[in-house]
Chain A
Amino acid sequence: MSANATSEVLDVSGTPRVPFSRLVSVEVRKALDTRAGRWFSGSIVLLSLAVVVIYAFAAPEGSRDFGDVITVSGGVLGYFLPILLILMVTSEWSQRTGLTTFTLEPHRGRVVGAKLCGGLILGAGLILVAMGVAAIGTLLGGGAWSITADVLVKGSLVANLIGILTGFAIGMLLMNSPAAIVTYFIYSLVLPIAVNVLSAFQEWFADLAPWIEFNTAQGLMFQDEGAPGGTLLAQLLVSGTIWLVVPFVLGLLRLLRAEPK
């Protein structure tokens, strides 16, 4: 026991607050140290490897370059990355570890910030893994070692950043692992299909869709070459506000106030 134990007043002069970097490294560790976390990250890496191997042999001759393969490997990993982020947030509530986390660091804003930074680090690690997997695919397929700036910036950076923030927002908003994962699948799989079907039948809706549906706007961004400009940028901002910014802010407010039970 510390020397000040017998004092009526807690002497905290010798204790600095927990450094933010330590909170971040703990959050990264927590994302990977459970059975679920380990199996999940291992599985998606294996899955992307499998998809890339098939792609390397099945893709037409001109589409086996490094830049093409990384779109495939990064696409698979990037699709599942938000789930890792969801679990980082929701496990504090579903597994009730928040009781410990928020007692060891009562300033919840710092914990949330550390989780987000941890998520970004995991995302960066994932891009590296995607590159490694893509390198294997390129070797197998005998493609050229070329990559465009579009693939690097939009495909890797922007897409994963949006994915990380989306997972984080859903996690904070729902605070429940199964519900958040189901919501993510509905948002990323069912919603775009529904929008596509509606757009196919109603022309006015096809024009409206990129304004009100984030996935559609992102799809247009990936189709275009170079940076999005004018209308597309406006569509990205509007639909992004509806589907990302608003849920993120609401989720953050909820998480900062909720009582961990």
Chain B
Amino acid sequence: MITVDHLTKTYGGFTAVDDVSFTAQHGRVTGFLGPNGAGKTTTMRIMVGLTPATSGSVRIGGRDYRDIPNPGLHVGVLLDASAQHAGRTGREVLMIGAKTMGLPDSRVDEMLELVSLTPAESKRRVRNYSLGMRQRLGIAHALLGDPSVLILDEPANGLDPAGIRWMRRLLKSYADQGGTVLLSSHLLNEVELIADEMILIGRGTIVASGTKESLLSGQASSTLVHSEDNDALGRHLTAAGHAVAVEAGGLRVDCDSPTVGRAALEAQVVLTELRSGAAGLEDLFLALTEDTQREGRPAAATAQGGTA
């Protein structure tokens, strides 16, 4: 388990990480989510001792990273899949890791097989790897020492859809066995599917955290409905005291879907589509990090929110 306690990192006058505190529990996948430059990578670099913190601390399993002997056996780290010597073969990259940690050579072949890098691919130089292959190699490297804690920065970057699904299953099973998984991403959908807990960070500060359900619980209910007679249904709902707006060939009503369904039954209107129109995580995320986005809040995201 990872405990980040009032962590702050400043570079001159720029505050990259501003009083960040959170916990990544064991047995759970924790998603670390934020726009580019929000401070995710800096936080992870501080975790593994590559960057000194200005103040605050990070403890992994109750210890400072520097105080973990042979840390590769306890904490699997992937910070940047492209940070490998271009002239080294993929297999050799893993061999160096295995030698440092004191693992048998057979472990390298096991890991290559686990991440589906073929023997022929593993003998090619990293220079010739696609981003997806580098990512697989990086994940193999993180898993080499069979660690109980995984810290992965943007691990799904460059993976194809099958690869993303594979990684999702892999990390899920890791957490199910009691491991701690912390992964960062700027892609919400990807994290939403895999993470049990989510930590949302924007411009160095945590803007929200919790499970998907708890994050969304504060949202007002809203329903999108299409029917054979929208006018009649709309009149009936308005009469019942609900605000109704015409949207995309249907109606948006500010109540939950059973209420709309009942109203349709009473008005004897045939429903053709009925779904929750509540703002999804994406809307919440954009709203919370609105002032930290590089672009203003895009209107399109709001319109698509119901499908999230």
Contacts and interface: CB of A to CB of B under 8 A. Distances in A.
A12 B96 contact: no
Contact of B26 (A8, A22, A29): A8
Contact of B92 (A7, A11, A25, A33): A33
Contact of A103 (B27, B48, B92): B48
Contacts of B177: 1, 5
Q: Is the interface of B mostly helix, strand, loop or mixed?
A: loop
A10 B87 contact: no
B112 interface: no
A102 interface: yes
A259 interface: yes
Nearest to A19: B102
Q: Pick the most buried of A8, A99, A102: most chain B CB atoms within 10 A of its CB.
A: A99
Interface residues of B, number: 48
Given A22-B102, A34-B88, A96-B80, A10 B74 contact: yes
B62 interface: yes
B102 to A, nearest CB: 6
B68 interface: yes
A6 B148 CA distance: 8
Contacts of A7: 26, 61
A17 B101 CA distance: 9
A90 to B, nearest CB: 12
Q: Is the interface of A mostly helix, strand, loop or mixed?
A: loop
A103 B77 contact: yes
Interface stretch (A104-112, A156-164, A223-231): A104-112
Contact of B101 (A30, A96, A104): A104
A36 B50 contact: no
A1 B80 contact: no
A7 B153 CA distance: 24
A91 interface: yes
A62 interface: no
A6 B80 contact: no
Interface of B: 1, 26-27, 45, 48-51, 60-63, 65-66, 68-74, 77, 79-80, 82-88, 92, 95-97, 99-102, 125, 141, 146, 148-149, 174, 177-179
Given A100-B83, A106-B48, 7 more contacts: A1-B177, A4-B148, A6-B26, A22-B100, A95-B86, A104-B101, A106-B71
